[in-house]
Structure 1
Amino acid sequence: MTSPLTSLPKVSVLTRRHVVTALGASAALAGSRAARAASAAKGIYPVATCSYMVMFVAQGLGYFKDEGLDSRLVQGGSGVKTREIIASGQGDFALADFVHPMLLTNKGRPCKALTAVDRIGAGLQFMIRADLYAQGITDLAKFVAWKRPDGRKPLVGVSSIGGTTHVWSSYFLEKLGYDGMVTWLGVGNVDTMLGSLKTKQVDVLINTYSLVGEVERQGYGKLLYDGSDPQNWDSVIGGTVPVTVNYCLQARIERDPALVQAWTNAVMRAGQWVDKHDPEEIYGAIEPFVGSTSRESNLIEIKSTKAVGNPAGLIDQAAFDRGAKVWFREMTGVQRLPLDAVYAARFAEAAAAKYPA
């Protein structure tokens, strides 16, 4: 399969300092507000990829600060570990797959999504070892039919078992008729994911465009299948879905709704800013958070993630129903829930009213 990765036009590099300076008017507005003590808030994100750039933008451009928050962002290491951190109370807010607040709700730790940041899963790029691609294994059908030298099924690496990539890519394989034909492995964060493919510990790695850019640039991997391609996505899923959400425990909402509203406001502003700015500007704002992959690879991922963004942040019933077939199945272990049980719409609606797109 021919890689869709294309060169972006060369423009001047915009640093984070330039971006922050350009937003001086926003800072001035924040400074004119009545002084109040900053509220501490810790946000958790799974891994350091541009898929989570809305949270990075909110931090990098001072939107959390504008809302009166003393914010700190922490990498969880995977979607599952991020969920565990939130459940334990060691983090206040998370940005990860919608399946995580659903699972916590099922297990007696009620959670609510606050905003959705996308409409299509942006990290469903299947990368195969370059040596296998050179042997003629150039599509999914050939890959799942291939056996390792010891006769075992092919090994497929994802950040974590039960995380975003695993949930969605396993559904794709089921619908394409390849259920049970691979062995899944959780291989961790960006560095260990890349290392697992490079050292042939896995045969295919599934993650984002920035990792595709790295493996192809270094020559040890090739793009095999792109589940995020709109044609592939629609053929399997049938339309938009709130894949990645900003969420917190219901207990946090009950204890401090003003803090939750402030966080939601900042994330929504960040989503709107991303929607209106080009990849170079976005990279300037988030560069400190995505240093494990090259600038060129990150620009590719920013472009693709921006294309499927949801700047309005709202979740509608039809989109939720499309996602239900992926979330509520035996593989995930998630018991069916209605939308209002896992979505506190009032925070996104209030943020949208305060900051109309």
Structure 2
Amino acid sequence: MQRRSLLTGAFGAAAALALPTAVRAQGLEKPRLTVAVGGKNLLYYLPLTIAESLGYFKAEGLEVTIADFAGGSRALQAVVGGSADVVSGAFEHTINMQAKGQAMRAFVLQGRAPQIVLGVNPKTFAGFKSVADLKGRKIGVTAPGSSTNVMVNFVLAKAGIKPSEVSIIGVGAGSGAVAAMRAGQIDAISNLDPVITLLQRSGDLKVVSDTRVVAEADRVFGGPMPAGCLYAPQAFLDRHPATVQALVNAMVRANQWIQKAGPSEIVKAVPESYLLGDRAVYIDAFLASRPALSADGLFPEAGAPTALRALQSIDDSLKGGRFDLAAVFTNDYARKALARLPKA
């Protein structure tokens, strides 16, 4: 009986993945699309990788091409330039783009905290005592203008340091970032896992601020700070509602799977290159980051105001402006996805 139940469950799962695909594809306005991401190997974007590797996009009738860039700002440029349809990136970009007169809307959450860690290099910065000591130093970020850069600016602003008083260097989100720290090319780094855990393990990083810890992220930013998400031009959402819903269905399903999965399952589901040559480090990084990943794809209502305050604290041009924060995100698609998925 047990074997029969298992087989029945397996066939049922296969049918759920296979049968609806062709039917759903017929109702999609754009079954083939491109998602731009800045550092796909990062745990920040793990839901995107899982949705791809476990076939959740295909189950929704979607053929998704994921274009990987050195940082979130580069991924955003791809959508603005028309070479990609959707961004998998940091939530605050939607607010920045509204300030520039370009309507972007986030429609499913991947991370409920930024998961960005700011740390210093023990080799070149042995005398570090406080954030104020970063003045005049070289700080590595995934890419200039990315969320890792925003994090640096925000922490520096609290210490009275202007962005112009440090040197920001783009080092990417993988082995290049690790090499830059170990070679002493940068004095500090703002990056994410698995890069951070790998540097910690080897003694090449002293943590200054860790927003993988949700409580610390809330303290640093003064409230919930939405992080990784899928967002796109409002015009894309208007023209392709069924396609957007299919994307969200797949992402919410991935969010839920991650919260239940064991470390060994995660390692099997991601490409070998993501492990940076050390399976144990990746597992530790996953366990450190999982609490900061979204379980349901929903944006906190206080998230947009928190993000705006953070951006205004580092960019005077945003102060005094009028923002329609309700227009930079929506939970409608995630709620529909949750309603159709089995209860956790």
Q: Counterpart amino acid of 2:79?
A: I
Q: Counterpart amino acid of 1:280?
A: S
Question: What is the CA–CA distance in structure 1 between the aligned matches of 2:186 and 2:21, rounded to whole Å?
Answer: 55
For the pair 1:28 / 2:12, whether they are aligned, the reply is no
Alpha-carbon RMSD across the aligned residues, in angstroms, is 2.6
For the pair 1:116 / 2:106, whether they are aligned, the reply is no
Q: Match for 1:349 among 324, 335, 339?
A: 335
> 1:144 — aligned with what?
134
The Cα offsets for residues 75-100 of structure 1, whole Å up to 9 and x where unpaired, read as 12211100001112211222111122
Q: Counterpart amino acid of 2:257?
A: W
Judged with a 3 Å threshold, the aligned counterparts in structure 2 of structure 1 residues 109 and 321 are, in CA distance, closer, same or farther, namely closer
Report the CA distance between 1:142 and its aligned residue. 7.2
Q: Counterpart amino acid of 2:19?
A: S
TM-score by length of structure 2 reads: 0.85
Q: Match for 2:74 among 43, 66, 81?
A: 81
For the pair 1:168 / 2:147, whether they are aligned, the reply is no
Q: Match for 1:200 among 178, 184, 188?
A: 184
TM-score by length of structure 1 reads: 0.82
Question: What is the CA–CA distance in structure 2 between the aligned matches of 1:292 and 1:277, rounded to whole Å?
Answer: 21
The Cα offsets for residues 222-241 of structure 1, whole Å up to 9 and x where unpaired, read as 22313324554343223322
Instruction: State the aligned residue count.
Output: 325
* Matches for 1:49-128 after TM superposition, within 5 Å: 49-126=42-119, 128=120
Say which is worse superposed, 24-33 or 108-117, in terms of deviation.
24-33
> 1:282 — aligned with what?
266
1:240–1:322 Cα contact (<8 Å) kept: yes
Question: What is the CA–CA distance in structure 2 between the aligned matches of 1:25 and 1:326, rounded to whole Å?
Answer: 47
The Cα offsets for residues 222-274 of structure 1, whole Å up to 9 and x where unpaired, read as 22313324554343223322122211121211222111110011011101111
> 1:16 — aligned with what?
none
Report the CA distance between 1:65 and its aligned residue. 0.6
Question: What is the CA–CA distance in structure 2 between the aligned matches of 1:123 and 1:271, rounded to whole Å?
Answer: 19
Question: What is the CA–CA distance in structure 1 between the aligned matches of 2:277 and 2:79, rounded to whole Å?
Answer: 27
Q: Counterpart amino acid of 2:303?
A: A
Judged with a 3 Å threshold, the aligned counterparts in structure 2 of structure 1 residues 287 and 121 are, in CA distance, closer, same or farther, namely same
Question: What is the CA–CA distance in structure 1 between the aligned matches of 2:221 and 2:21, rounded to whole Å?
Answer: 47
Unaligned runs of 5+ in 2: 1-8
Report the CA distance between 1:295 and its aligned residue. 1.9
Instruction: Please identify runs of 4+ aligned residues in structure 1 that moved more than 6 A.
Output: none
Percent of pairs with identical residues: 24
Q: Counterpart amino acid of 1:303?
A: L
Judged with a 3 Å threshold, the aligned counterparts in structure 2 of structure 1 residues 302 and 109 are, in CA distance, closer, same or farther, namely same
Judged with a 3 Å threshold, the aligned counterparts in structure 2 of structure 1 residues 187 and 33 are, in CA distance, closer, same or farther, namely closer
Question: What is the CA–CA distance in structure 1 between the aligned matches of 2:269 and 2:86, rounded to whole Å?
Answer: 21
Question: What is the CA–CA distance in structure 2 between the aligned matches of 1:93 and 1:297, rounded to whole Å?
Answer: 31
Report the CA distance between 1:199 and its aligned residue. 2.3
SS in 1 for 2:66: strand
2:78–2:84 Cα contact (<8 Å) kept: yes
The Cα offsets for residues 27-46 of structure 1, whole Å up to 9 and x where unpaired, read as 32122337334711222211
> 2:298 — aligned with what?
314
